[in-house]
Amino acid sequence: MSTTPAKIVRFYNPGAPDVLTMEDIEVGPPKAGEVQVEHKAIGLNYIEVYWRTGVYPQPLPCCPGTEGAGIVRAVGEDVTDLKVGDRVAYGSGPVGSYATVRNMPAHPLVKIPDSIDFETAAAMMLKGFTAQYLLRRVYKVQAGDTILFHAAAGGVGTIATQWAKSLGVRVIGTVSTREKAELAKANGCAEVIITSEENIVERVKELTDGKGVPVVYDSVGKATFVDSLNCLKPRGMMISFGNASGKVDPVPLQWLAERGSLVLTRPTVASFTVDKAEMLESAAEMFGVVASGAVKIQINQRFALADVVKAHTELEGRRTTGCTVLIP
């Protein structure tokens, strides 16, 4: 098989969005266990800001992205579950989805149901997997629970809050602006706290008759971490799954004891998708809630891959809502 021309976005040193540059490359045939995918849509996620800025260092040069959807154009030896022409998506693949064509391991790829288009698949895989493990595995929410979900108008938030509501959960969401508050309410939040105007802890205690919540889902990080702990009821669980406002400072374990034997965890999507059977089970549940209409994937921003600098500028400036995709 000959090489395939492709375009790829890379950065050679951490920095502002303009360190991202597009280059022309040639992609060789896939190796054993690999598949060549022609992307039709690429998911944009905040973790890529962490990589680009050096918060989470990556080997350089780096082509960001771990989420995409497209068509299988070639398969390597020992790949038995996929064939040329299959519609596939992934949300936990190795870094490198900011490209028109790529070779990647077959393991993370999931066949897309006919009812799911490429943009929806690319927008939902990483965020959907994240919502699934947060709500169904790390802390399995039950009907009647009241939970606190930070960044409720974001990509993961808009999926998770809809999903939680469909399970009979009362969601208290936090957002940064009044505009985002309306979006959060439309996506299942029973109550919304505007962090620029209200005290998070006081409002949560007010909304729970002083009891607090059994679980907090926090992807904001440094700016909300202590408040999140203070919103929990005794023996509650603090789930920290992102650092949008900066890395959380080291936490004295005594803090957990003083607040009533709290549980603190820092999960990642990779840990919940390493097993293929478990990953396919999660994907099936995720596709199911979307197909049923319980969760609607809201793609509120679309950028050409060539406009990736603008896309990162908007994302890092917290001017995006819902999901964002890059179109090759």
Per DSSP, helices labelled H in the chain are 47-53, 118-133, 155-166, 178-186, 200-207, 225-231, 253-258, 276-291, 308-316
Class of domain 143-266: alpha beta
Task: For 136-190, write each residue's pLDDT tens digit.
Answer: 999 999 999 999 999 999 889 999 999 999 999 999 999 999 999 999 999 999 9
What is d(CA 325, CA 328) in angstroms, rounded to the nearest whole number?
A: 10
**This prediction's pTM:** 0.86
Task: For 118-140, write each residue's pLDDT tens digit.
Answer: 999 999 999 999 999 999 999 99
Q: Domain limits of the chain?
A: 4-125+298-327, 143-266
What is d(CA 9, CA 144) in angstroms, rounded to the nearest whole number?
A: 45
Question: Do 4-125+298-327 and 143-266 come out as alike in CATH topology?
Answer: no
Arch. (CATH architecture) of 4-125+298-327 = Alpha-Beta Complex (3.90)
Within 13 Å of residue 274, how many CA atoms lie on the same side as its CB?
5
Q: What angle do CA 138, 143, 145 make, to 5 degrees?
A: 65
Task: For 18-47, write each residue's pLDDT tens digit.
Answer: 999 999 999 999 999 999 999 999 999 988
